[in-house]
Each structure stands twice: as structure tokens, then as C-alpha cells.
Amino acid sequence: NLSACARGREDEPSRVAMPAEAFEVGERASRERDGEKRICEIIERKQLPNGQWTYYVHFEGLNRRLDAWVSAEELQPIEAQAPDAAGRRPTRQDAVNSRRATRNMKRKIDEINASSLNDTEHDEAMEKEHEESTKVKNIQTIEIGRFQVDTWYFSPFPEEYAQHTLYICEFTLKYMRKRKAYERHKLTQKAKMPPGKMIYLAKAPELHPDCISGGHLQPKQLSVFEVDGSESKIYCQCLCLLAKLFLDHKTLYYDVDPFLFYVLCEVGDDGGHRIAGYFSKEKFSSESNNIACILVLPQHQRKGYGKLIIDVSYQITIREGKVGSPEKPLSDLGQLSFRSYWTAVLLHTLSEHRGNLSIRDISLMTAIKTEDIISTLQSLNLIKYWKGQHVISVSPKIVDEHLARNARPSLRCETDKLRWQPAPDENQSNSSAG
């Protein structure tokens, strides 16, 4: 009877879903995104228990933060190419084989030329290595406080924490794998603010109604804490790992001792200071960088916090008696934020001082480095090159017209609320060292 039953089942058609045609890693396909078909490259793939494939894809021409896992049903082969001279149409396998051959050839060339790389080539090789080692996001979402946030990039958390959702305490930044551990931590931990010294506390502006939803509450105040990487090492390392989920080229993870971290927080009705963003800077920068990394967490973007963080950095630089510039290259979002900030500050400086100001005058007044002033004024057509030097060429009317188009940043540092001064011997030690 058992054999008869077995034979009966064998005669029945299989009910197991047949897997869709598998794509190879390195192959290109098309997928609909934002209402249009876009070309994407298969970066990684894995087979599910039901036999179906899921693919990690990168959309050509778009930032890597938009890379995502998609199902086989969402992908379509690229339309057949024109036939070659022999009348044969290239197949999908031809494309895969070509890519494999290209990768193998490149590997051989890299081995031959490894000892003769110049600095530029070395940088390019390092960039390729970075992309290869961080091409697939190891964590898809984080839960931090009231928010569940989709991640943008790979971050080097310990391997055992690589999972779909990671739980992060909004006060200590401790990360946990299990929701139960996360809930237990929230009940037992005592911290309600970052470590370090609070250097700024001001009334929070009224948020736009669109910002007060999905877990957002109107904060009472905004605060900034200065945290020394050598004194609060674990907190700062956790901060760097969190930040890397949203920054593509951040390389600082564990060696935090040489850095200061300035953490922006929203202060709620319960008195808790919850992280919204941060910037870091080297304690001693040979290139006069006043920002090494900067980030506003995605759930707090579009509130004006980026401009506030930048302004706090420049106000500190002014009190140091220096000029500064962010570490470059800037990300695409970073470039937009800094250019917008520089534009607003420079236009208002030119508007308030109607006399003839030199680029050096403006640099000393704003702490903005001369090359950043020049590039910003060039983008506004407010500067010309005359007799071997850059000269500001502007009338009050033109400045007013630009001001009308470039509104003042909605959120700036209230300098009377900034409780920060350089160490008494800092300038003296710097001058003696020079």
C-alpha cells in the first residue's frame, strides 16, 4: 500500500514552484523603479529554501544607497542585442563570460602592475577594493528609539550582528541583535544623554507639520555635546558604526582617540537628549579641516539640522581664531549642504558690509577657507580674475537679487548659547609648535 501511495504521488504533477530563470552575478538586467525601467547590475544573489533566487542589485547611474534586494520576478532580461558579423545574436551567457574574462584579465594586470602603482592609481585601486568589500549591505534596517530606518550602506559591525534588523539604543548607541535584549536594555539603562560635555542648549524651532509624524515629536530644545574619542571610546566607536550605515566613504570605525565628536540631540518633554546627527573633527588637523565627518540621521533630515551642525563647527573655528574647511571629497549630500551654507553666509556678509571686502577679509570674518569662498562666489558669478588674483565683483543690487533666491538657512547657531572656548594654552602651544 505504501508503494502504491508513493507511485500515486510520483504520477501527480509537481506542486513545487519552478524557480524563475536565474541571473548570474555580474549580469545586467532591467527593473522598474519610480515608474520607469532602469538597467541594474546583479551584485550578489542567494537561493531561498523554495528554490527561488533573490538578487542584490545596483541601478546604473544612481547612488549605492539605493541598492536593494529584489525577487527574480522583478527582473527582466535586457532586450537582445544586434547580431554580430556572423549573424549570431549575443546571449546572456556571452555577457556573463565576457565579464568573467574581463575580471580575470584585470586581476592578472593588477598582479603585474601592483609594484608600479603611482599615488593616483593606488587611490583608484583602494576605491575599487572599498567598493568590492562593501558592495552588499549587511544590515537592512535599524530600530532606534521610536524609528525604524532603512540603511543605505554596508557597515563593519561584527559578523554575528549582520542581520535584517539591528536594535540600537538612542542614548548609549549600544547595538543588539534581539528585540528582547533591546527592550530589557531600555528598562535598565540609566543614561538619558550622550557622554561628554554639553556645549550648546537652545530652544528648538517649530517644526513643519510634515515633520511631526511617523514617530516625530516637537522637541523642546536642541543640544550639542562635545565627546572626546579617547575618553568615551566605546560610545564613539558605536557612533562611527551607526554613521557608516548612511555614509559611503567613511573609514573611521575604531581608532577614535584623535577625534572630537559633536553630537546634536533633540530634547524631549522627558528631558532625554536623543541623537539626531553629529560631526567629528581631528583634534589636530594639518590641513585645517574643521569637519571630518558629518551626518544627520535620515529620520531627522529636512529639519535644517545639517546647516545648524555646520554653523556650530564654524562658530567653534571662529573662537579658535582659525579658518577651516570640511575634509574632502564631500559626498553628494555633503556638497549640497556645504554649498548652500557657504552661499547664505557669504551673501549675508556681502549684504551687511557694503564696502569693498577682500576674500581674505571675508575668510577672517566667517572662518570659511579662501578656496571655498572662491568656488562658491564663482558658482554665483560674483567673482572675476583680474591681474593674477581673484577679485569680488558685485553690486548691492546683485547681492539683494541673490539673497531673494537664496533664503537664509532656517536654523543657525545662537552664538550666545554656545558654551565653548578653546583651552587657555591651545593657541599658545600651537604658536610655539609652529
Rounded to whole angstroms, the Cα distance separating 319 from 373 reads 19
Transcribe 275-305 into DSSP letters: EEEEEEEESS-TT-EEESEEEE-GGGTTSSH
Rounded to whole angstroms, the Cα distance separating 430 from 434 reads 6
Q: Name the active-site residue from 44, 143, 282, 327.
A: 327
Q: Is 94 left (phi over 0), alpha (psi -120 to 50) or beta?
A: alpha
Transcribe 136-165 into DSSP letters: S-S--EEEETTEEEE--S-----GGG-SSE
Residue identified by cell 556645549 is 199
Distance of CA 361 to the CA centre of its chain: 33
Determine contact, residues 218/212, Cβ cutoff 8 Å: yes
**C-alpha closest to that of 380 among 366, 392, 362:** 392
Q: Decide: helix, strand or coil at residue 132.
A: helix
Contacts of 163 (CB under 8 A, 6+ apart): 139, 177
Q: For this structure, is 266 an active site residue?
A: no
Distance of CA 210 to the CA centre of its chain: 23
Alpha-helical (H) ranges within 14-135 are 92-113, 119-133
Residue 355 CB neighbours (<10 A): 5
Q: Which residues are catalytic?
A: 327
